[in-house]
Structure 1
Amino acid sequence: MNHTVQVAPLRRGSRWAAVGAAAYILWGLLHLGLGVAMAVPEIAEGAAGELEAESLMFFVCAIVFGAQAITVGWCLNRVGDRFGYWLNLLVLGLIDAAFVAVMVLPGHVDPVGGWSGPLVWAVAAVASTVALRRTSTR
């Protein structure tokens, strides 16, 4: 009995899909990690006032969007799914655009840390777009 496993070769464009998915997953891990690191202590202590509650809500949103990026990246972007493409492209892109406009450009956050998420998103967006275009032109 032959117990070897045969692995199908990657379809053209699927390497791009894998790069896009990996970048979205990295984006998700960055946001999930930041959100958990900042929200857990605040939840444990309780938000003292409205400003602290709004800050906590911001980090809870980072957790949720991070989880979305990871889930959609792994389940949909990795296989070149069109719905997953648009979901992560638009939702995460709008989140990053708003973050840059509200937090990075006015100088409320460190520019290096502030631009890291949008740059990872841009890599994911380009790679996913190339993957989708290569598979849809056949």
Structure 2
Amino acid sequence: MITKFSSRLAKYALVPTAVAALATPVALTMVAGGASAAASCGRTAADSDSSSWPRQTSGVSANQRSGSSTSCGITGYADNRNTLDYHCYTVASDGSTWTYLRNDTDGTAGWVKDSLLPNNGSNVYCGF
């Protein structure tokens, strides 16, 4: 019975589709995992996002931190006069997203909660 089912999948070129359908939930689970995706204090990220934003517009200023948590140390500040170069985002243990960025105005880098950034931060996932 299984052999016939496999033969039909192969005959109609459905094997790649079936494999992809089975793999998709695994990939989604890994990204949505939350705690394992957070950037620990001291973690940096490569520049995977080509977007740059001329102004930090959501509020007066935001703390740049050494990780994706308010318990991580402050590495700098991003305010409405700065040019920000987004690198990528990750998901904190509480489910919020944070973008790693470089402040091109003063050269500092760090993680900023996406709700404080223009366009809600980067749209490129860091992969951790």
TM-score of the two chains, using structure 2 as the length reference: 0.27
Larger Rg: 2
By relative contact order (CA 8 Å, sep 6+), the higher-ranking structure is 1
TM-score of the two chains, using structure 1 as the length reference: 0.26
